[in-house]
Structures are given as structure tokens and as C-alpha cells.
């Protein structure tokens, strides 16, 4: 080393490396380090040679010794971070990027790369902060905005995701995948026409992009433009015959017109993609919607793979064999209406000798206490039970078919004191009392059902004609957006008389007591429909065309689940006018006939 400078050593090693002699090049540097073990340039050169020789561990060792001497070497830290990232040692990579950003908080590449690591770790909020800082420091707008869109989407910040994807397109409008992500997010938000417009732009870039073709079909399907949607699903399949998603979506088109073909396409999707949870779930609901409960309930068990359910220490209940004396922990899932519908099975478990621990959502606790059976109400039991069972698995456990549905006229009751309370509230309502619900509940954490919530709801203005009849109309509606409609309509026409007692409906036992004071409930397909049916109250359900499986796809007008329920289903998707016209006619007849009976 005394006779040679570090530059000469590095140059000589480089010449060796260029001839393909990696071992010789490394030896030259190592020999130099024998004489000067703390020479940073030689240590870094050794690390670079190891890195170029695909010896990541050798590179890390050399860079590590260099950083022990000077921890502020950004380039060395960067190399170390990249190696750790390639080795999927993300925690070590983060340490390196943290060190870089301590030295220079405006290092764009470090910000972007650290954000990418956070994204891989599903720490999307932290990734967003890094992408934001990288943008402020002047980073590449396209990639950073695109990454922000992905993070926002995973955080279920869908409006923000749309904004990010649009910003990315401003920087580079020639990447089809951005259009795909944007359109899928717009579809989730129910902005289908806008989604179609952006998909068209993406298809101009790549007309045979099978996922864009499929996404276009989805947006059209949700606009009820079925023939056009089918055309795009067929185009997607023609482009890629193995695209399982297109077969699944094509099947969704056919559930109500040709269920046997729908089943064929669902099975095709599952054969192509055996762990395709959405297709499995859709196939199950298709079986249930045609009354094939034998295959339907068993297939419906697939939902345990997709729903965010907690872990259980004891096995899942599969049948009623040998349950005498066993403790069965029954827990809720999905919506409140599901609990109200399927709690009817609790007495059946008890009758067979089981001890039932029932977990009940807070708003249902009072009404569930009126089940005419003894059970123990629990909150996430620590242990001590023999089996657990989601409440919607009880029909499967009991091997229910359409002829064995337990359908007592009434299996829940309102509390007498609360009935009396609302009776006093309604003393001046002496005509036939009709309760109405026009909007379903919103589940902010379940974007897949947002479109369902929208399609099953109806604007309050559609009820105005029935307010002109000789009846008293009482609102059973909860929810801020729906009640805004009520305030607006009343402000526009002071003659409209709809009694709103929503501020007194604290839980379902209150709603039940109010319902018991009514003659009829007219409601969209929401939890109140199940409550009213479980109370045995005369109930008319306003039902969307793409009906829930429990009301059957053949659009029947009665339900084997609730003897007191009558169903009015859309003849055309999205068209409530015909439904409400039929309701008005039937309501007039209903009032006339019941007045005759009362006399």
C-alpha cells in the first residue's frame, strides 16, 4: 500500500473484473485492505465487487465495516437498503432508509423506496406520508401519485384513491393499469358512468386488455345495461379464455334469467381459479336463490374464508349429532337482519339439549331477550364452550330445505311497557297506521355492498302518493341521510304528514314496540323487514330486481321464512315506479277490506 495509492488498487481490480476474473479482482482489494483495513474507499469498492458478483452477504459485510467507520455515507446506506429489500429483510432495509432520511429528509429515492416497503408491509398510512414528502421534494409525479392511489384504496379511502389515480394520469396517461385501478375504484363508489368513460380511454391504448374489458362489463352491469355488459364479458373471455373473473361476472348477469347457465359459469370460474372466494360465494347464493338448499347451505360455508371473522378455540358446529349437554357458542355475522332472521334456530338447539351461549349486537340485546327460550348472553367468551357456530350456519347445521324452514308466525315480541309508551304517542293517529322505511343501512367497512345498499333503497318522494290516502304514515327510518330527505320533503310541502319518532328509536326493542302499534309496515329490504316479519306483523317488502337470495330469484310474492310478509319486486332493474304503483293499488284494497272486517 505504501507503493500504491488506493486509486491504483481499485483501478487494477476493475481491470481484473472487466476480464471476468471476479475472484482476482476481489483478492486485489482484500490485499489492499490487509495494509489499510480502515480505508473507506477500499471497503466500499470491495462491497461493490461483491454486489456485482451476486454475493450479497459479502457486500453487506464490507458495507457494514465501512459504515462503522462513517455512518453518514448515503450511497453505502442505499446499497445496503437495496440488498436487504431484495433479500426480503424489510426491517433491516427500513433501518437503512431511516438513516438516510435522518441525514437528508428530502431524499426522494429513499422516501419512495421506504414508502414501497411500508406498502409491502400493509402500513399504508406510513407509505402515504413518504410518498407525499417525496412529491413535495419534487419526485416523479406519476409513480408517486399511482402509489398513493394504491395505498388509499387499501385504506378504503376510495375518494382519495380516485384523486390520486387521476393525478397520476395527468403525469402519464398512457399506462392502461392506472385506468384499470381507477375504474375499479369508481365502480366501488357507484360512479359507473364515469368508470366507463375512463375504461374507454384505457381501451384506446390497449383494446385487447382483458381486465379493462371485464371492468367495462362490471360498470355496465351495475348500470343495468345487461346486453352491453355481456358483450364486454365475452370480449374479455375471447381475449383470455382463462380469465375467471369474466366468467364470474357473466354468471352474475344470468342468475335471474337463466340460473342453470349462471351455475355453469360460476363453476367454470372456480375450475380456472380454485380459491376464487367471490365466485364460490356467488355460486352458493345462486343455489340458495333457486331454492336448492341442499347444495346451497353447504356451499355457503365458503364465506368463512372471505369474511373478517375472529379466531375460535373450539371447533365449528357442522351438525346436530350428539349436541345434548354441549355448550354451543352462537355468534353474529354480516348484518343485523341476518341475526333477526336466523335467531329462530336458537330454540331448536335448546330443544335438542344444547346449552346456548349467544353473542348479540348491542342494538339487538333487548329484542333478542324476548326469544321464548333460555340462553346465556355473552360477549366474546374466553373459553368453556364445546362448539362455535356463526348464526347464518344454523340452517346448514339443521339441514334446512324449503319444506322444513322453521317459520312460526311470530318468534320475537315487543316489551309491553314500550308498546304502551308508543300507543300514547299515536293517540291522534286513528286511521290505518302504516309504518315506512325507505333506505337500507350503510356499512362503511364493506365496500362490496355499497352498490347493494344503493340499489335496495328508494327515495322518500316515491312514498308521497300513499300519504294522500286515508291512512296515518309513521316513519320507522333511522339514518342521517334518509332523515334529511324527510326534512326536505316536509319543508317543500307542509301538508305532508309523516310522523317521525326516530329520536325515540334507540334500539330494536323500541322499533318493535312502535311496529306493534301499527297495522302494516312497508319497507325496503333491510333489518326492519326482518324485525317486522319476526313480530308477525303484516309486512310489505319493496324489493329490487336483483333480489337477495332469501327472497328467491323467481320473484315470488310470498316468503316461506315469514308468513306475514308480502313481496313487491321490480319488474325492471332500478325501476321503483311500477312497484309503488302496485303498492298504492293494493294499499287501497287493503284499507277497504280491513275496514269492512272491522265493521
Percent of the chain with pLDDT over 90: 84
pLDDT of residue 332: 92
Q: Are residues 339 and 289 in the same domain?
A: no
Mean pLDDT of 437-463: 73
pLDDT of residue 495: 78
pLDDT tops 60 at residue 2: no
pLDDT 10s digits, 177-201: 999 999 999 999 989 999 999 999 9
Q: Among 121-125, 279-283, 446-450, 479-483, whose mean pLDDT is lowest? A: 446-450
Please report whether residue 1 resides in a domain.
Answer: no
Q: Are residues 219 and 260 in the same domain?
A: no
Domain count for the chain: 4
Q: How confident is the model at residue 307 (pLDDT cuts 50, 70, 90)?
A: low
pLDDT of residue 4: 66
Please report whether residue 405 resides in a domain.
Answer: no
Q: Among 142-156, 256-270, 435-449, 489-503, whose mean pLDDT is lowest? A: 435-449
Residue with cell 365496500: 447
Average pLDDT, the chain: 93
SS in 3 state form for 535-597? CCCCEEEEECCCCCHHHCCCCCCECCCCCCEEEEECCCCCCCHHHHHHHHHHHHHHHHHHHHH
Mean pLDDT of 348-360: 96
pLDDT tops 60 at residue 443: no
Please report whether residue 574 resides in a domain.
Answer: yes
Mean pLDDT of 78-96: 97
Q: Among 123-127, 456-460, 503-507, whose mean pLDDT is lowest? A: 456-460
Beta-bridge mates of residue 359: 378
Beta strands in 255-318 (DSSP E): none
CB burial class (10 A; 0-12, 13-18, 19+) of residue 349?
buried
pLDDT 10s digits, 310-320: 778 899 999 99
Q: What angle do CA 121, 122, 126 make, to 5 degrees?
A: 90
Mean pLDDT of 457-483: 90
Mean pLDDT of 267-291: 96
Please report whether residue 312 resides in a domain.
Answer: no
Please report whether residue 429 resides in a domain.
Answer: yes
User: What range defines the domain where residue 558 resides?
Assistant: 416-598
Distance between CA atoms of 170 and 164, rounded to whole angstroms? 10
Q: Which one has a higher pLDDT value, 277 or 491? A: 277
pLDDT tops 70 at residue 169: yes
User: What's the gap between Cα 299 and its chain centre?
Assistant: 20
Q: Are residues 515 and 378 in the same domain?
A: no
Instruction: List the one residue out of 426, 536, 524 whose CA is nearest residue 471.
Output: 426
Q: Are residues 89 and 195 in the same domain?
A: yes
Distance between CA atoms of 243 and 212, rounded to whole angstroms? 12
Q: Are residues 248 and 261 in the same domain?
A: no
Mean pLDDT of 47-63: 95
Q: Are residues 264 and 245 in the same domain?
A: no
pLDDT tops 50 at residue 202: yes
Last residue of a domain, one of 273, 306, 339: 306
pLDDT of residue 599: 35
User: What CATH number does residue 262 fall under?
Assistant: 1.25.40.10
Last residue of a domain, one of 272, 306, 340: 306
Please report whether residue 319 resides in a domain.
Answer: no
pTM of full prediction above 0.75: yes
Q: Are residues 137 and 226 in the same domain?
A: yes
Coil, helix or strand for 359? strand
Cβ distance 152 to 165 under 8 Å? no
Q: What letter does residue 316 receive in the DSSP assignment?
A: B
What are the φ and ψ backbone dihedral angles of 212, each rounded to 5 degrees? -65, -40
Task: Give the count of beta carbons closer than 10 Å to the beta carbon of residue 419.
Answer: 16
Sign of torsion, CA 284 287 293 295?
negative
Mean pLDDT of 146-170: 97
Last residue of a domain, one of 254, 271, 292: 254
Q: How confident is the model at residue 447 (pLDDT cuts 50, 70, 90)?
A: low
Instruction: List the one residue out of 360, 510, 543, 516 whose CA is nearest residue 440.
Output: 543
Q: What is the C-alpha R_g of the chain? A: 32
pLDDT of residue 333: 86
Q: How many CA atoms lie within 13 A of 393 on its CB side?
A: 21
Q: Are residues 194 and 279 in the same domain?
A: no
Q: Among 335-349, 375-389, 407-421, 447-461, whose mean pLDDT is lowest? A: 447-461
Mean pLDDT of 344-364: 96
Q: How confident is the model at residue 444 (pLDDT cuts 50, 70, 90)?
A: low
pLDDT of residue 557: 97
Mean pLDDT of 2-10: 78
Please report whether residue 344 resides in a domain.
Answer: yes
Please report whether residue 105 resides in a domain.
Answer: yes
Q: Are residues 300 and 421 in the same domain?
A: no
Sign of torsion, CA 403 405 406 408?
negative
The helix (run of H) or strand (run of E) holding residue 390 is: strand 387-390
Q: Are residues 565 and 433 in the same domain?
A: yes
Beta strands in 138-209 (DSSP E): none
Q: Are residues 361 and 442 in the same domain?
A: no
Q: How confident is the model at residue 308 (pLDDT cuts 50, 70, 90)?
A: low
Mean pLDDT of 401-429: 95
Q: Are residues 371 and 449 in the same domain?
A: no
Amino acid at each position: 500500500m505504501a507503493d500504491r495509492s488506493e486509486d491504483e488498487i481499485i483501478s487494477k481490480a476493475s481491470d481484473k473484473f472487466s476480464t471476468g476474473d471476479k475472484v482476482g479482482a476481489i483478492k486485489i482489494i482484500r490485499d489492499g485492505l490487509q495494509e489499510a483495513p480502515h480505508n473507506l474507499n477500499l471497503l466500499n469498492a470491495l462491497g461493490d465487487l461483491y454486489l456485482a458478483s451476486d454475493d450479497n452477504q459479502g457486500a453487506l459485510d464490507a458495507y457494514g465495516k465501512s459504515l462503522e467507520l462513517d455512518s453518514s455515507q448515503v450511497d453505502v446506506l442505499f446499497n445496503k437498503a437495496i440488498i436487504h429489500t431484495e433479500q426480503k429483510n424489510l426491517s433491516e432495509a427500513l433501518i437503512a432508509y431511516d438513516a438516510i432520511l435522518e441525514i437528508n429528509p428530502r431524499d426522494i429515492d429513499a422516501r419512495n423506496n421506504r414508502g414501497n416497503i411500508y406498502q409491502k408491509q400493509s402500513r399504508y398510512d406510513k407509505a402515504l406520508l413518504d410518498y407525499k414528502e417525496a412529491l413535495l421534494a419534487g419526485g416523479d409525479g406519476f409513480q408517486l401519485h399511482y402509489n398513493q392511489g394504491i395505498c388509499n384504496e387499501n385504506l378504503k379511502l376510495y375518494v382519495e384513491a380516485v384523486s390520486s389515480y387521476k393525478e397520476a394520469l395527468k403525469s402519464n396517461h398512457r399506462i392502461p393499469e392506472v385506468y384499470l385501478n381507477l375504474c375499479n375504484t369508481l365502480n366501488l363508489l357507484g360512479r359507473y358512468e364515469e368508470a366507463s368513460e375512463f375504461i374507454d380511454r384505457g381501451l384506446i391504448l390497449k383494446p385487447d386488455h382483458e381486465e379493462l374489458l371485464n371492468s367495462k362489463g362490471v360498470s355496465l352491469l351495475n348500470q343495468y345495461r345487461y346486453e352491453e355488459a355481456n358483450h364486454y364479458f365475452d370480449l374479455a373471455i375471447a381475449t383470455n379464455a382463462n380469465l375467471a373473473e369474466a366468467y364470474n361476472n357473466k354468471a352474475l348477469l344470468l342468475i335471474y334469467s337463466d340460473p342453470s347457465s349462471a351455475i355453469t359459469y360460476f363453476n367454470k370460474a372456480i375450475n380456472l381459479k380454485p380459491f376464487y372466494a367471490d365466485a364460490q360465494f356467488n355460486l352458493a347464493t345462486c343455489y340458495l336463490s333457486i331454492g336448492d338448499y341442499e347444495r346451497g347451505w353447504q356451499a355457503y360455508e365458503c364465506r368463512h374464508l372471505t369474511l373478517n371473522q375472529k379466531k375460535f378455540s373450539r371447533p365449528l358446529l357442522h351438525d346436530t349429532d350428539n349436541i345434548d349437554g354441549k355448550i354451543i357458542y352462537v355468534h353474529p355475522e354480516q348484518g343485523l337482519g341476518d341475526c333477526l332472521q336466523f335467531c329462530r334456530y336458537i330454540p331448536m338447539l335448546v330443544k335438542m339439549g344444547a346449552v346456548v351461549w349467544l353473542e348479540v349486537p348491542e342494538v339487538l340485546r333487548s329484542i333478542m331477550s324476548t326469544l321464548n327460550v333460555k340462553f346465556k348472553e355473552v360477549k366474546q367468551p374466553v373459553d368453556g364452550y364445546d362448539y362455535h357456530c356463526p348464526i347464518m350456519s344454523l340452517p346448514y347445521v339443521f339441514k334446512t330445505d324449503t319444506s322444513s324452514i322453521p317459520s312460526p308466525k311470530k318468534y320475537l315480541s315487543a316489551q309491553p311497557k314500550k308498546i304502551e309508551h308508543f300507543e300514547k304517542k299515536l293517540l291522534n293517529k286513528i286511521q290505518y297506521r302504516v309504518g315506512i322505511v325507505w333506505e337500507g343501512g350503510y356499512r362503511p367497512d364493506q365496500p362490496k355492498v355499497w352498490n347493494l345498499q344503493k340499489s335496495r333503497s328508494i327515495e322518500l318522494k316515491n312514498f308521497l302518493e300513499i300519504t294522500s290516502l286515508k291512512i296515518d304514515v309513521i316513519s320507522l327510518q333511522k339514518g342521517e341521510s334518509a332523515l334529511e330527505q324527510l326534512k326536505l320533503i316536509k319543508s317543500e310541502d307542509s301538508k305532508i304528514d309523516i310522523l317521525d319518532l326516530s329520536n325515540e328509536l334507540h334500539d330494536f326493542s323500541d322499533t318493535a314496540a312502535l311496529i306493534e302499534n301499527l297495522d302494516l309496515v312497508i319497507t325496503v329490504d333491510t333489518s326492519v323487514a326482518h324485525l317486522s316479519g319476526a313480530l308477525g306483523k303484516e309486512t310489505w317488502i319493496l324489493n329490487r330486481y336483483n333480489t337477495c337470495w332469501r327472497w328467491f330469484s323467481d320473484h315470488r310474492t310470498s316468503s316461506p321464512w315469514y308468513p306475514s310478509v308480502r313481496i313487491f319486486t321490480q319488474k325492471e332493474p332500478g325501476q321503483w315506479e311500477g312497484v309503488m304503483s302496485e303498492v298504492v293499488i293494493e294499499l287501497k284494497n287493503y284499507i277497504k277490506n280491513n275496514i269492512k272486517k272491522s265493521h
